[in-house]
């Protein structure tokens, strides 16, 4: 398949104004794995302004030079191609470290003096992007310290803006999310708060809206009249790795469904926005979340399956069961898998089931959205006595082997009429070459530009919690009911198959073999 010619609809992007990125939790895993490599790649691509700087803030005592050395080691480990010798000194000269305690006002006053001195030495405004890459327990205290020392309103003392980027998890339920929103909005206005969900930074997730609204082909069919049901699968092969203590308190519903799966669902289900500005797009997404049919206690048992992985094999290697993972309670009843059925109660989707599932230690790593169209009437080619033909399916492969497949029926050449489903396939790597950019690069750049389209707004986060919180309470009350287990390396518990099969449907993924690299001719 050949990528189109130059008739691209280009949305022009300016480069950010000079700014300083302050990373709280700078010595942590997220900073090393994701944030610093993303900043470095943006720098190498010339997408950052000349006068940008990074200030790492954490409790560990460290000099600027020691921090630079830590960053260099992180880049060596987590940046493909490593830190290039040629541009490392320029990058390193923009890295600084500030030791402080998250609840110590004096440390924040010193941070303020340092940021002002840095800005003055670069003849730049005091623009600051504060990034909370810390455990969630300190989100609110840090925001409060930033406010108390005057850093959330730099315009009052020197020209400039201040923005806050917050990692997930954003609360544990509706009440805690509301409380956290109230705390941070005490320090920053809503349009200065960037709640990050790295799924929104993925190219293929952004392409959902382009596919739906930049093509005449799909939108007329995208409704209850033609769509039988929708499946969203987010399957991982990894277990909880080193995050046992966090994960055991969270589980799949909080860790994956409340954020990543809800975003995928709302992008698939939303109405066309009349503009691509951040508030218009996000308002349409919120409407979907608010239209989700509530799942009362009585429905949870038939519409939702939670399960936990037992020991098994992944990629030919034996792996332990969840309860034997480090940091996990040996009698834990936290779910590592969840599958459920929901409905969007509006005119477009009335009666169309949306089946969602996610789990760790499954048979393959695949994130995919399947739009399953209605079967054709049982006449003509579909009148065969040996069963109905496979329906049309549009599969959006979010990762890996990013792309789109469309399944339709064709006549196999030869005498007689033999009809078979065929898949037409579009692959990003084959069409455009290379790997898609890291989600964090796009999101960091957007936050520096002040574009919040790909970040979660407060009402969005609360609408997702409003749907999930009663489910979580029901699950918590049922905690002594047996939690099914599934073998690590399988496709999940048989109860999840039974749930969808009761409706006469099956879980399907259209995962494709790895695509050939490079552009096709």
- Give the whole-angstrom CA distance, residue 253 versus residue 360: 12
- Give the whole-angstrom CA distance, residue 350 versus residue 379: 26
Active-site residue flag, 260: yes
Minimal distance, residue 153 CB to ligand BG6, in Å? 31
Mask 222-251, x = binds ligand BG6 (CB under 6 A)?
Answer: --------------x-x-------------
Minimal distance, residue 39 CB to ligand BG6, in Å? 18
Contact positions with ligand BG6 (CB under 6 A) in 350-389:
367
Residue reference for tokens 């993925």:
202
- Give the whole-angstrom CA distance, residue 309 versus residue 322: 6
If the CB atoms of residues 255 and 284 are measured against ligand BG6, the closer one turns out to be 255
Residue 439 neighbours by CB under 8 Å, 6+ apart: 198, 199, 200, 201, 202
Task: Give the pair of three-digit tokens for residue 318.
Answer: 């034996």
If the CB atoms of residues 259 and 405 are measured against ligand BG6, the closer one turns out to be 259
CB 342 within 8 A of CB 217: no
Contact positions with ligand BG6 (CB under 6 A) in 65-84:
none
If the CB atoms of residues 334 and 367 are measured against ligand BG6, the closer one turns out to be 367
Kindly tell me which residue out of 70, 144, 248, 255 binds ligand BG6, with binding defined by CB under 6 A. 255
Identify whether 400 is preceded by a cis peptide bond (ω within 30 of 0).
Answer: yes
If the CB atoms of residues 236 and 460 are measured against ligand BG6, the closer one turns out to be 236
Contact positions with ligand BG6 (CB under 6 A) in 192-211:
198
Secondary structure letter of residue 456 according to DSSP: B
Tell me: does residue 441 bind ligand BG6 (CB under 6 A). no
- Give the whole-angstrom CA distance, residue 262 versus residue 460: 10
How many CB atoms within 10 Å of residue 13? 11
Minimal distance, residue 382 CB to ligand BG6, in Å? 37
CB 340 within 8 A of CB 304: yes
If the CB atoms of residues 154 and 244 are measured against ligand BG6, the closer one turns out to be 244
Minimal distance, residue 245 CB to ligand BG6, in Å? 13
Minimal distance, residue 171 CB to ligand BG6, in Å? 15
198, 229, 260, 372: the active-site residue: 260
Number of residues that bind ligand BG6 (CB under 6 A): 5
If the CB atoms of residues 250 and 496 are measured against ligand BG6, the closer one turns out to be 250
**By Cβ distance, which residue is nearest to ligand BG6?**
255
Quote the crossing angle between the two packed helices 174-187 and 139-148, to the nearest 10°: 20
Quote the crossing angle between the two packed helices 64-78 and 36-44, to the nearest 10°: 80
Task: Give the pair of three-digit tokens for residue 365.
Answer: 């790593």
- Give the whole-angstrom CA distance, residue 212 versus residue 288: 16
Minimal distance, residue 490 CB to ligand BG6, in Å? 18
> What is the enclosing helix (H) or strand (E) of 120?
helix 105-121
Helices then strands, counting H and E runs in the chain, come out as 16, 17
List contacts with ligand BG6 (CB under 6 A): 198, 236, 238, 255, 367
By annotation, the residues acting in catalysis are 260
């Amino acid at each position: 398949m050949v990528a189109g010619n130059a008739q691209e609809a280009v949305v022009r992007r300016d480069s950010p104004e000079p700014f300083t990125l302050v990373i709280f939790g700078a010595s942590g895993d997220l900073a090393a794995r994701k944030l610093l490599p993303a900043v470095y790649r943006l720098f190498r691509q010339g997408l950052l302004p000349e006068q940008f700087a990074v200030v790492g803030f954490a409790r560990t005592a460290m000099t600027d030079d020691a921090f630079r050395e830590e960053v260099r080691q992180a880049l060596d480990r987590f940046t493909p191609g490593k830190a290039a010798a040629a541009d490392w000194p320029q990058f390193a000269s923009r890295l600084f470290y500030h030791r402080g305690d998250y609840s110590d006002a004096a440390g924040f006053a010193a941070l303020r003096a340092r940021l002002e001195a840095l800005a003055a030495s670069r003849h730049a405004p005091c623009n600051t992007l504060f990034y909370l890459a810390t455990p969630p327990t300190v989100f609110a205290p840090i925001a409060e310290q930033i406010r108390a020392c005057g850093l959330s309103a730099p315009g009052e003392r020197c020209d400039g803006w201040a923005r806050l980027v917050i990692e997930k998890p954003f609360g544990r339920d509706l009440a805690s999310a509301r409380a956290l929103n109230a705390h941070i909005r005490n320090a920053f206005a809503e349009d200065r708060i960037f709640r990050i969900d790295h799924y929104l930074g993925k190219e293929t997730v952004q392409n959902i809206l382009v596919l739906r609204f930049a093509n005449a082909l799909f939108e007329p069919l995208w409704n209850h009249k033609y769509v039988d049901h929708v499946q969203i699968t987010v399957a991982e092969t990894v277990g909880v790795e080193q995050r046992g203590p966090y994960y055991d308190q969270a589980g799949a519903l909080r860790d994956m469904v409340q954020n990543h799966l809800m975003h995928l669902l709302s992008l698939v289900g939303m109405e066309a926005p009349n503009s691509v500005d951040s508030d218009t797009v996000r308002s349409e997404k919120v409407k979907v979340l608010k239209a989700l049919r509530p799942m009362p206690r009585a429905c949870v048992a038939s519409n939702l399956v939670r399960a936990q992985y037992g020991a098994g094999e992944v990629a030919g290697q034996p792996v332990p069961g969840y309860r034997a993972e480090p940091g996990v309670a040996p009698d834990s009843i936290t779910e590592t898998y969840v599958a459920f059925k929901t409905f969007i109660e509006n005119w477009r989707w009335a009666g169309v089931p949306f089946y969602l599932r996610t789990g760790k230690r499954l048979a393959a790593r695949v994130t995919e959205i399947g739009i399953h169209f209605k079967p054709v009437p049982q006449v003509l080619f579909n009148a065969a006595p040996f069963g109905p033909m496979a329906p049309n399916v549009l599969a959006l492969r979010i990762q890996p082997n990013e792309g789109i497949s469309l399944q339709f029926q064709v006549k196999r050449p030869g005498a007689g009429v033999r009809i078979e489903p065929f898949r037409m396939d579009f692959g990003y790597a084959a069409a455009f070459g290379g790997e898609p950019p890291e989600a964090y690069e796009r999101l960091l750049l957007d936050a520096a530009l002040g574009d919040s389209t790909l970040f979660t707004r407060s009402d969005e986060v609360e609408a997702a919690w409003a749907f999930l919180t009663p489910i979580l309470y029901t699950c918590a009350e049922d905690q002594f009911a047996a939690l099914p287990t599934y073998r690590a390396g399988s496709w999940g518990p048989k109860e999840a198959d039974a749930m969808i099969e009761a409706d006469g449907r099956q879980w399907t993924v259209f995962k494709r073999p790895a695509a050939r690299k490079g552009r096709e001719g």
